[in-house]
Structure 1
Amino acid sequence: MDRLQAMTVFVAVAEEEGFAPAARRLAMSPPVVTRAIAALEARIGTRLLHRTTRNVRLTEAGTRYLEDCRRILAEIDEAEETAAGSHREPQGQLAVTASVLFGRMYIAPILLDFLGRHPRVSARTLFVDRVVNLMEEGLDVAVRIAHLPDSGMTALKVGSVRRLVCASPAYLAEHGIPQEPADLIRHQTIAFQGVTPSPEWSFRSGGSEVRVRPSPRLEVNTAEMAITAAVQGHGLTRVLSYMVAPEMAAGRLRIVLAEHEPAPVPIHLVHREGRQASARVRAFVDFAAQRLRADGSIN
């Protein structure tokens, strides 16, 4: 078995966390897979996998080698696709990541429409409320809602969102409307850690930054829970504007302290390949950018 085949086998074993499932994925016999990994480890001179009766785990060296194998195999796939003319015609698997709520509200409909237009493309999504490493997770495109550091990635701005404070009309009628950020100290608040990992909420007042530390009655780790609690009148919460666009349109929530909001947060589509991106990545980024830029709730 040549080196590229051995790398493919190793990636399958690592991702499937077992020799038997990797063999099924590759349409090989388990003994062939086992011998391929043993030969690979012998050639490299180090153990790549910890084997137990229940599962297979990567060693530290194996974790590093997996990242390199994914990169090398992806580059080979891209070279073959380009040579075959697929740089012009989208095909192959597209892997996209976004936060859970943004993925469900925006990326999922866009991706499904994209697949409908490109029958030779398949897709995989990873919607999680954490920043993922595209290379390590084998991903093509990420949605980043943040001010981005210089990472060498290609980033395309497609919109922006506000960090706003809102509450139900019933809550505001009972407890009053805060006029200044400092008024939040006297209100019931719902802390959503995904937007404000710090216990302080930042605002602008008179050209300066103002920080307030509310004492939340409720702390949650999902936007849906924070929004549900706010709609039901349990207090003020701070979320990103796109998260509550339906509730605002229906009148179930109202914005407060709008004149003190910090600067909007940009939304970017990020990918690794730059101008050398495959047809499927370029086509999806262009398609998603057009759709997101046309959406009034994030612009």
Structure 2
Amino acid sequence: MDNRAGEMQVFVAVVETGSFSAAARRLKMTPSTVSKLVVRLEERLGVRLVERSTRRLSLTTEGHLYHERALRMLSDLDELERELTVGSAGASGTVRINASVAFGTIAVEPLLPAFWQAHPNIVIDLSLSDEMADLYLERTDIAFRVGGMDDSSLTARRIGTARRLIVAAPEYLDRNGIPTTVEDLDRHNCLGFNFQRTQPVWPMRTGGRIVDRMVAGTLLANNGETVRRLAVAGAGLARLGEYHARADLAAGRLVEVLADAGVGDEEHVAALYLGPHRLPARVRVFLEFFVPRLRTFMIEGAVLDPN
């Protein structure tokens, strides 16, 4: 039977105690058993790990390398076992999260302090990007996505829907006029995105049907938060999710335009993760805390309550 982990533990004990006899006392083995295990390890590896003398033991170069790596692997094994066996209250480890800049900033970040109060031993590795994350390649545990959920190998936990609005700052509309028809978009600065997956079109309702209206402007950004800020600054029209523009609309920094012509199309918002079976405790408690609160947040007009 392969017992490399056991051999590592014996070798580490020998290094830490400085002798075979002291390691044997710690491990409740005989000194001859400890010595035989170290010799067997050296024979299998084909290198000498320990230089033996009558006074003391010293590590060879290979022994130092093996000791360093063995400590790391045994630590990882301990962490894995703790993660798989502890309950929610004792969950620990790192949860790697990917979210769009807007959703991460507005919806995820405000909940983190309350989450840490409940689970102080969990580290959140948060990456914000409007590019689609590959959960496999980027070692991501959970990705919050708005639209774009075609990967059938992932498990999706629905959070809500994001309704799209066309908005602008009052000062921009004062300078350029309020668009009242789809054709008016041609004379307005329409702020857009530079994603390869995104076309410079806004779906609009005209003549009783929905058409993709080509738009153009002086900004192409790689995230919605930049577009929102420039719209608030009066740079042009923007097409944003309702949840993203909610606070600015309530404060009067942005107003909706073309409400009748705008399709108000909706995109699904979900938490995507690999699974669904036997989620690590750290991932499971994160989903249990965040999903119900984010569902409340996605309801139009809801105020985010972290508690």
Question: Structures share a fold, TM > 0.5?
Answer: yes
Offset at residue 33 of structure 1 (A): 10
Counterpart of 2:277 (choices 271, 275, 278) is: 275
CA distance in 2, matches of 1:76, 1:209: 58
Write out per-residue CA displacement over residues 126-152 of structure 1, whole angstroms, 9 at most, x where no aligned residue: 212211121222221110111411422
Alignment of 1:118-129 (within 5 A): 118-129=119-130
Match of 2:12 in 1: none
Match of 2:164 in 1: 163
Write out per-residue CA displacement over residues 72-99 of structure 1, whole angstroms, 9 at most, x where no aligned residue: xx999767643x3447742222111111
Letter in 2 for 1:230: A
CA distance in 1, matches of 2:63, 2:295: 47
Match of 1:101 in 2: 102
CA distance in 2, matches of 1:34, 1:135: 33
Task: Say if 1:207 and 1:123 are closer, same or farther in 2 by CA, change over 3 A.
Answer: same
Offset at residue 200 of structure 1 (A): 1.8
Alignment of 1:138-287 (within 5 A): 138-193=139-194, 197-205=198-206, 208-259=209-260, 260-287=262-289
Offset at residue 195 of structure 1 (A): 11
CA distance in 1, matches of 2:229, 2:278: 44
Match of 1:135 in 2: 136
CA distance in 2, matches of 1:174, 1:274: 53
CA distance in 2, matches of 1:220, 1:176: 24
Letter in 2 for 1:252: R
How many pairs does the alignment contain? 240
- Does the aligned pair in 1 maintain the 2:83–2:282 contact within 8 Å? no
**% identical equivalent positions:** 30
Please, what is the CA RMSD of the aligned residues? 3.6
Write out per-residue CA displacement over residues 19-69 of structure 1, whole angstroms, 9 at most, x where no aligned residue: xxxxxxxxxx9x669967xxxxxxxxxxxxxxxxxxxxxxxxxxxxxxxxx
Letter in 2 for 1:241: E
Q: Give the secondary structure class of the aligned counterpart of 1:136.
A: coil
Letter in 2 for 1:271: Y
Any stretches of 5+ residues in structure 1 without a counterpart?
Answer: 7-28, 37-73
CA distance in 1, matches of 2:62, 2:150: 45
CA distance in 2, matches of 1:154, 1:96: 15
Letter in 2 for 1:121: I
Match of 1:58 in 2: none
CA distance in 2, matches of 1:76, 1:205: 63
User: Which consecutive segments of 4 or more residues in structure 1 shift more than 6 A?
Assistant: 33-36, 74-77
Offset at residue 297 of structure 1 (A): 4.5
Q: Bigger CA drift: 174-183 or 163-172? A: 174-183
- Does the aligned pair in 1 maintain the 2:210–2:263 contact within 8 Å? no
Match of 1:293 in 2: 295
Offset at residue 284 of structure 1 (A): 1.1
- Does the aligned pair in 2 maintain the 1:155–1:268 contact within 8 Å? yes
Task: Say if 1:276 and 1:233 are closer, same or farther in 2 by CA, change over 3 A.
Answer: same
Alignment of 1:58-77 (within 5 A): none
CA distance in 2, matches of 1:197, 1:186: 21
- Does the aligned pair in 2 maintain the 1:168–1:233 contact within 8 Å? yes
Q: Give the secondary structure class of the aligned counterpart of 1:162.
A: strand
Task: Say if 1:113 and 1:207 are closer, same or farther in 2 by CA, change over 3 A.
Answer: farther
- TM-score scaled to structure 2, two decimals? 0.66
Task: Say if 1:244 and 1:196 are closer, same or farther in 2 by CA, change over 3 A.
Answer: farther
Q: Bigger CA drift: 128-137 or 204-213? A: 204-213
Offset at residue 158 of structure 1 (A): 0.8
CA distance in 2, matches of 1:220, 1:93: 31
Any stretches of 5+ residues in structure 2 without a counterpart?
Answer: 9-58, 67-75, 303-307
